[in-house]
């Protein structure tokens, strides 16, 4: 950042109006329009805002909570800064992994491996380490030699070769990675924790989202409609990740383009109640469940119901029952001897 000219009341910083919009008091403060959200986020990511402005901006947004227009604008402002190659391979599914798992292992990763073996292409993206005591997707990918990209070009190559890739947030945007790390500094999450889930770096026609706070279901569905995402499902996933909680009924908000959201409650696939917490969180169990050596009922139910929801959202099944049957078939047909897609 190289801002040298002085700023005064008569000659304010170009970013100052965006802070003022959020901080004019109860009667004059208002949300950003889509365009204001887009342009202000792009300024931050281009290094055109001062640190104190960014801190004020993020916490004022956190105080009032984001609107669908703001989330969509932040996404578009961020996507405009991506250094993407001209020809990206087509992918089927975008999968964000920003929460980490605390109580159960990330069984959804096995859902995705089965999908990839069935011929689907999946792009995962996420961040890790921002909340202690959690197992993050990148931890699992590193442990089992699954493909992690260090650039868009690298990610494209991995999708072509392996059918999947994991893109760390710093590959998508180093500045966003720095901002998401501010949680222990500011004491609260910021809008970055929300809108990164919608970045969809490869323009997949189907986007899956898991959130922790149920109050964001309508906000994220509204943002998906503004962005015109062909297929998007958002639900309160286990720990905030995209994983069905097998022991709980799960309301899922699905959008298709700009159409009104469809709200469908998927029933529990196990007896309702609290699943016992995994006190060890040994990620080696993922390989054991994949190989059929560990047939933990909760794990298998979470894997297949998550897989079914993805198929239903993608339009690969016309009903929940059909999706569950297709998921069971894909899971049964997996190559148990080949865990990694390499």
DSSP 23-92: SS-TTT--PPPHHHHHHHHHHHHTT-S-HHHHHHHHHHHHHH---HHHHHHHHHHHHTT----S-PPP-S
| The pLDDT of residue 340 | 67
Q: For tokens 């109860």, name the residue.
A: 26
User: Is residue 66 located within the same domain as residue 159?
Assistant: no
The verdict on 134 and 184 lying in the same domain is yes
pLDDT tens for 274-301 read 677 888 999 999 999 999 999 999 999 9
Residue 210 confidence (pLDDT): 94
Query: What is the CATH number for 106?
Result: 3.40.1030.10
- Which residues neighbour 203 within 8 Å (Cβ) at sequence distance 6 or greater? 88, 91
- State the residue for tokens 């227009």: 69
Question: Same domain for 71 and 164?
Answer: no
The answer as to whether 268 is a domain residue is yes
Same domain as 167, residue 48: no
Non-local CB neighbours of 256 within 8 Å, separated by 6+ positions: 230, 231, 232
Which regions of the chain are under pLDDT 70?
1-5, 130, 272-274, 340-342
Q: Are 279 and 177 in contact (CB under 8 A)?
A: no
**What pLDDT, on a 0 to 100 scale, did the predictor assign at position 4?**
53
Asked whether residue 98 falls in the same domain as residue 74, the answer is no
Looking at the structure, do residues 192 and 325 belong to the same domain, yes or no?
A: yes
Domain co-membership, 234 together with 112: yes
Q: Are 320 and 265 in contact (CB under 8 A)?
A: no
- Residue 112: the pLDDT is 98
Positive or negative: CA dihedral 242, 243, 249, 255: positive
Q: Are β-strands 93-97 and 206-211 bridged in parallel, bridged antiparallel, or unpaired?
A: parallel
- Structural domain containing residue 222: 93-332
pTM above 0.75, yes or no: yes
HSE (side-chain half, CA atoms, 13 Å) at 190: 24
**Backbone phi, then psi, for 199, in 5-degree steps?**
-70, -30
Residue 167: its pLDDT value, please? 98
**The predicted structure's pLDDT at residue 7:** 80
CA angle 280, 166, 340 (to 5 degrees): 65
What's the confidence (pLDDT) of residue 1? 47
To the nearest 10°, the Cα dihedral for 49, 168, 182, 238?
A: 130
Q: Which runs of consecutive H residues, i.e. helices, occur in the chain? A: 16-22, 34-45, 51-64, 68-79, 108-117, 137-143, 152-162, 169-172, 174-180, 183-186, 192-195, 217-227, 284-291, 297-314, 320-332
Beta strand 93-97 with 122-126 is: parallel
Domain total for the chain?
Answer: 2
pLDDT of residue 276: 75
Beta pairing partners, 209: 234
pLDDT at 274: 64
For residue 233, the tally of other CB atoms under 10 A from its CB is 25
| Predicted local distance difference test score (pLDDT) of residue 341 | 59
Of 45, 79, 113, which marks where a domain is finished? 79
Whether 341 is in a domain gets the answer no
Q: Of 127, 132, 162, whose CA–CA distance to 144 is shortest?
A: 162
């Amino acid at each position: 950042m190289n801002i040298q000219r002085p700023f005064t009341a008569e000659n304010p910083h170009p970013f100052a109006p965006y802070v003022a919009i959020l901080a004019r008091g109860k009667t004059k403060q208002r949300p950003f329009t889509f365009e204001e959200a887009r342009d202000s986020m792009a300024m931050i990511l281009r290094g055109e805002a001062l640190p104190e402005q960014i801190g004020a901006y993020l916490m004022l947004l956190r105080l009032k909570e984001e609107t669908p227009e703001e989330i969509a604008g932040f996404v578009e402002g961020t996507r405009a800064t991506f250094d993407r190659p001209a020809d990206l391979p087509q992918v089927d599914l975008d999968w964000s992994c920003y929460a980490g798992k605390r109580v159960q292992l990330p069984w959804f990763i096995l859902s995705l491996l089965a999908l990839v073996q069935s011929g689907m292409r999946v792009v995962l993206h996420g961040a890790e380490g921002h909340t202690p005591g959690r197992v993050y997707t990148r931890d699992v990918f590193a442990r089992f030699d699954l493909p992690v990209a260090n650039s868009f070009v690298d990610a494209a190559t991995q999708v072509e070769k392996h059918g999947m890739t994991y893109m760390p947030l710093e590959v998508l945007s180093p500045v966003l990675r720095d901002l998401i790390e501010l949680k222990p500094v500011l004491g609260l999450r910021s809008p970055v924790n929300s809108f990164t889930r919608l970045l969809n770096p490869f323009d997949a026609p189907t986007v899956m989202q898991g959130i922790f706070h149920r109050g964001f279901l309508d906000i994220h569905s509204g943002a998906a409609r503004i962005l015109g995402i062909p297929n998007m499902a958002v639900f309160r996933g286990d720990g905030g990740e995209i994983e069905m909680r097998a022991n709980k009924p799960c309301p899922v908000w699905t959008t298709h383009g700009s159409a009104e959201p469809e709200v469908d409650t998927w029933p529990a696939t196990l007896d309702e109640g609290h699943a016992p917490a995994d006190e060890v969180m040994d990620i080696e169990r993922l390989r054991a469940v994949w190989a059929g050596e560990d047939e933990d009922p909760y794990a298998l139910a979470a894997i297949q119901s998550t897989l079914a929801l993805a198929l239903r959202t993608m339009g690969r099944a016309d009903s929940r029952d059909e999706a569950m049957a297709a998921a069971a078939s894909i899971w049964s047909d997996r190559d148990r001897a080949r865990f990694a897609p390499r």
